[in-house]
Structure 1
Amino acid sequence: MADKRKVIVIGGGFGGIFAAKSLEKLGRGLVDVELINNNNYFVFQPLLPEVASSNLNASDAVVPLRQLLKRVQVRQARVMGIDFERKIVIVMQGARMTPVELPYDELVIALGTGVDLARIPGMADHALTMKDLTDAHVLRTHAIGCLETADVTTDAKVKEQLLTFVVVGAGFSGVETAAELNELITRALRYYRNIKREDIRMYLIEFAPRILPTFPAELADYATENLGKNGIEVLTSIGTKSATSTGVELTDGRIINASTVVATIGNGPHPLVQALGLDMHWGRIRTDRYMQVPGHDHVWALGDAALIPLNDNPQEDPADYATQTAQFAVREGAQLAANVVAKLKGEEMKPFAYKSKGSLASLGMSKAVADVYGVKMSGILAWLLWRGFYLSFLPGLIAKFRVGLNWVINAVMPPNIVQLRMRPPATRYIHFWKGDKVFEPGMLIDGFYTVVNGRFKLTIDNPETGEHFEKEFRPGEHFGERVLLKSHLRTGLVEALEDGLLLFTAQKDFRRFARAFPALREYFKEYIEETFGGTDKAFAPGNVEDMDEKEPHT
């Protein structure tokens, strides 16, 4: 081992996996390969929409890294930084999250991309995404929850909002997510007697003139028509201006009230990649044709994180660079491994060159579009090709068998509509448009609100005494302190006087923090005494009442 060169691969996506696997095979006896990833599994991202639609179990879209890379050292850790001068990767690992320095001889960066929705106000805080396994699980759980509530509510406006679904972005991920989500809802409606198919509103929004921009126009037109027949309204040449907890505002001024917004746009550089100080363009690390990072002799990059030229004189044209797709990442991994081994042996390296074999996109309901080797297909034949291609592309024989078996079972069995809810975060930002209601009389007190920006008004009307009370809240002020007392129903109405942002803190978490932190405890003790005329025992030092109390689902 002392004579081997240490090669560290950062990232467990397609590029990282195939680079590590090929490095171990080609460099056996020459290199010691270690792959670092935050999770101990590989996510087959093309299947995430099927996880969201219950066509696949969550465990079937992932493969343990140690099963895929039996001869590669796998380290589950979070990369905190890279010291290029010392040739050190700094990671945080274990329950204590202690920093560990890992030396390398050659470093491969395969971190993929992150999600950046900051340019659309409210989108980052209210839209669901489809980047990893958790996202798919959350979308499925959320959609089923919407059906459950819509089936029993008597408020027509609330029901309409619950049954409206918006997917922003109509590339591969957006189209397949909208199609699979629509299929899940359609198949599940048989169990919700108070919801009709015509009650469902599904929107697919695309800023470009048409969906699936990488496909030939005739296939994109077929996809648009097919989605429309299945109840999905496709809106093109229109963007999303803002989002709140109640819907989205489009660039033409239209507002769609929806409880579900899924964003498949906003790909941005991985936070670590952005912080490395490397030469970047279009949010990707520049490399030469051999996938080496200029100015760093021992650093390589591939996959979605890298901007790899396909010719010696690339212009400002995306066609001159490797595309951010799985089929490119797999070939990049194999070629990069060959180049690393060639470099260590003093042999000639080869530039990366690859031409896409085509594209496939599922439209749900046993339909798809495909453009393979220039042959254009649509309908069920394209759908069968889509499934066959991804099944063959899935790494690991066990994973292939499980996915194939699940597809067969789910073709004849009803969808799984079990809702496995996840605990919401202790705090979260909530955006409101002017006129939106934060809460109304009769609603359960479930949290504490702090005004970040905008203005909000509290109105309390007591029909028994005729008392009327109004108060305005501005940035830095707060309301909802009654969560520190026993649970009550709301007695007032709070609405936004202008577009604004609130920080919401869940009841149990706010109680714990306010009781344990002396400065807050004294502040709220005095505030509640003045406002409500009493504090009960909520502020007794060391009080741990309600620590095991179930938090209301919000």
Structure 2
Amino acid sequence: MAKTDSAKKKVLVLGGGFGGVFAAKSLAKRGRDTVDVELVNGTNYFVFQPLLPEVAAGGIHSSDAVVPLRQLLTGVQVRQAEVAGVDFAKKSVIVVQGSSRIPVELTYDELIISLGTTVDLSRFPGLPEHALTMKQVADAHKLRNHVLSCLEMADVATSPAQKRQLLTFVVVGAGFSGVETVGEVNALIHQAVRYYPNVTKDDIRVLLVEYADRILPTFAEDLANYAARRLKLEGIEVITGVGTKSATSTAVELTNGALIPTGTIVATIGNGPRQLVQALGLDMKWGRIQVDREMRVPGLDHVWALGDVALIPLEDEPGDDPQAYAPQTAQFAVREGHQLALNLLASVKGNDKKLKPFAYKSKGSLASLGTTKAVADVYGFKLTGFFAWLLWRGFYLSFIPGFQAKARLLFTWILNAFMPPNLVLIQGNAPATRYIHYRKGDVVFEPGMILDGFYLVLSGKLKLKIDNPDTDEHLVRDLGPGDHVGERMMVRPLLRTGLVEAVEDTEVLFVAKKDFLRFAHDFPVLRKYFEKYIEKNFGGQGKSFAPQGSEQQPEMEKSN
């Protein structure tokens, strides 16, 4: 740990979003003789979230949407670590850092909580397991690769139903993030489709679903209506006044009963508090930490909060009016950071009377619609179309911290105006385990498909049917909670399956093939269980459903 001047106060900033970064930056600049500032963040970079839709569409590289914290925050000690807990009585924070994952205790004189929010889709059955999100750079990469993968598979699909499902893309939520994401993804798909000979633009279906009566609810109605018309002109179906009810691996169900077959659901809704924030024991409202107008946490000395995690009142008696609190936008978080820094420095110097309540009026709002169109409301002036898009780009370019980041982004924008889209598909490592939901009637496996993993039924019911055309034998089994499919890969890794379909709404735990084979091979108890299970259920006298027949089952194969 770096040495600090004992005469200075130690300020610990938790979180490297807009609020935390600009608070730390202002403190380092204005209080260099008064405070030592340390910022703790899970990554060593600052994410400019408004640019994530362009990263997802391949318009810019991920490095153009991030700024290294150490370059951005001169005069601030940056620590890449995970915050594990806070002890307000001891004025200390426990973080987990490094490859050894050893907990480290950091003490503070002043604490700033700027941990942001996380995605919480738990109110929508199936959505947490099957929806893509747009919070981090990795999310944008995952969405881009997923879209390109759908195009690749659709180009060789032989089933019309499967092709329609692959080429249907649903974005849930029509706020800033949802509108900009659907616009950019739609542009990527239509730019790329000419490289796929078996996919036409008429095959593509892109939908934007919004529970409110109109999209972009924070914009003036005429601008929101223009945005909706513009999106429709680009072929996007805009559905308003309808919410999302549930999702499976094959479809999304809306609150009006409509069922949309799709393999792509992007959720830009459902912000919620992090588990750590919930565990702090602070007064919460609407999932955010309640603070006073100076951004102090009531009941705790020397603790402050700002950004998305904090509920900052804009009036002395805000009550339950959401408009009476600072919105969760980057524009407000930046101003909160500057004001909190001034208040904290005044407090450290004993000048509590100089603390100022946070007050700020938005300079306006901008939203990109893709294809060089946008809507803007700046200082009361409304713009639409190409000039609004130029203003959108200019505004965010000026907003990005750091000259190098600005120059790199501007160069990328200029270059991409003359270059075709990059369709390189770089697949990351899929999760070893995940939960999958199936709706009644869904086909999990068609006869002849090669198993890709192990499926453990958690709830509901599946039906397995295997036909042996050589012996005219038929195997039919109902699979309920605790039953499983895929264990026969242990003796025949390229095993083809029979028909598996859901006879009830079903949830399964999926374990990737390689990970299942490793675990089953090297865990003797599990290995013996599956050997007996395969023999009992698939390999008895005169049966031909065991892998490679019942009379010869090779030694279980170890997966590397």
TM-score (norm 2): 0.96
User: Which amino acid is the alignment partner of residue 357 of structure 2?
Assistant: P
Runs (5+) with no aligned partner, structure 2: 539-545
The 5-angstrom pairing of residues 185-196 of structure 1 reads: 185-196=189-200
Alignment partner, residue 383 of structure 1: 389
Q: Distance in 1 between matches of 2:434 and 2:444?
A: 14
How high is the sequence identity, in percent, across the aligned residues?
Answer: 63
In structure 2, the partner of 1:290 is 294
Task: Indicate which of 28, 49, 56 corresponds to 2:53.
Answer: 49
CA distance in 1, matches of 2:524, 2:99: 29
TM-superposed CA distance for 1:518, in Å, is 2.3
Distance 1:220 1:364 in 2: 15
In structure 2, the partner of 1:550 is none
Aligned to 2:559: 546
The alpha-carbon deviation at position 318 of structure 1 amounts to 1.0
Tell me which of 147, 153, 159 is aligned to 2:157: 153
Alignment of 1:229-244 (within 5 A): 229-244=233-248
Match among 105, 130, 133 for residue 134 of structure 2: 130
Residues 94-493 of structure 1 correspond to what in structure 2 (within 5 A)?
94-347=98-351, 348-493=354-499
The CA distance in 1 between the partners of 2:532 and 2:335, in whole Å, is 66
Q: In the alignment, is the contact (CA less than 8 A) between 1:460 and 1:468 conserved in 2?
A: yes
Tell me the secondary structure at the aligned position of residue 247 of structure 2: strand
Shift of 1:535: 4.6
Match for 2:555: what amino acid? K
The secondary structure found in structure 2 opposite 1:135 is helix
Please identify, of 516-525 and 78-87, the stretch whose mean Cα deviation from structure 2 is larger.
Answer: 516-525
**Shift of the alpha carbon at 1:529?**
2.9
Q: C-alpha separation between the residues in 2 aligned to 1:491 and 1:70? A: 59
Deviation, structure 1 residue 462: 2.2
Q: Is the 8 A contact 2:445 2:497 kept in 1?
A: no
SS in 1 for 2:278: helix
* Deviation string, structure 1 residues 339-360 (Cα, Å, up to 9, x no partner): 1100011112111110111100
Range 203-212 or range 456-465, more displaced: 456-465
2:43 equivalent to 1:25: no
Aligned amino acid, residue 536 of structure 1: P
On the 8 A contact 1:24/1:72 being kept in 2, the answer is yes
Where does residue 514 of structure 2 map in the other structure? 508
Aligned residues: 542
Mapped to 2, the partners of 1:156 and 1:529 lie a distance apart of: 38
Q: Secondary structure at the match of 2:13?
A: strand
Are the equivalent residues in 2 in contact too, given 1:525–1:535 (CA < 8 A)?
Answer: no
Question: What value does the CA root-mean-square deviation take over the aligned residues?
Answer: 1.0
Unaligned residue ranges in structure 1 (runs of 5+): 540-544, 548-554
Correspondent of 2:500 among 494, 519, 530: 494
**Local SS of the residue matching 1:465:** coil
The 5-angstrom pairing of residues 519-534 of structure 1 reads 519-530=525-536, 531=538, 532=546, 533=550
Contact preservation (8 Å) 1:37, 1:75: yes
Pick aligned residue for 1:72 from 70, 73, 76:
76
Judging changes above 3 Å, is the alpha-carbon distance between structure 1 residues 535 and 29 closer, same or farther for their aligned structure 2 residues?
A: farther
Specify the code of the residue in structure 2 equivalent to 1:266.
G
- CA displacement 1:27-62 (0-9 Å, x = unmatched): 111111000000000000000000001110011100
Number of the residue aligned with 1:16: 20
Contact 1:445 1:482 in 2 (8 A): no
Q: TM-score, normalised by structure 1?
A: 0.97
Deviations 1:165-210 (A, max 9, x none): 0000000000000000000011111211211111100000000000
Aligned mates of 1:489, 1:297 — CA distance in 2:
64
Structure 2 Cα separation of the partners of residues 155 and 479 of structure 1: 24
1:512 corresponds to which letter in structure 2?
Answer: R
Q: Secondary structure at the match of 2:174?
A: coil
2:451 and 2:497 in contact (8 A); partners too: no
Whether the aligned pair in 1 keeps the contact of 2:454 and 2:510 (CA below 8 Å) is yes
Q: Letter of the 1:452 partner, please give it.
A: L
1: CA distance, partners of 2:141 / 2:408: 18
Residues 1:537 and 2:529 are matched in the alignment: no
Secondary structure, counterpart of 2:436 in structure 1: strand
Other structure's SS at 1:335 match: helix
Distance 2:251 2:297 in 1: 43
Quick one: structure 1 residues 477 and 376, their matched pair in 2 at CA, closer, same or farther if it must change by over 3 Å?
same
CA distance in 1 between counterparts of 2:520 and 2:158 reads 37
Q: Quick one: distance in 1 between partners of 2:416 and 2:53?
A: 15
User: For residue 552 of structure 1, what is the aligned residue in structure 2?
Assistant: none
Q: Cα offset for 1:525?
A: 2.1
**CA-CA distance at 1:526 after TM superposition:** 1.8
Give the Cα separation in 1 of the matches to 2:482 and 2:473.
27
Hey, what's the Cα distance between the residues in 1 that align with 2:513 and 2:130? 20
**SS of the residue 1:297 aligns to:** coil
Q: Which residue of 2 aligns with 1:82?
A: 86
Structure-2 separation of matches of 1:318 and 1:240: 23
CA distance in 1, matches of 2:416, 2:249: 33
CA–CA distance in 2 between the matches of 1:228 and 1:55?
Answer: 21
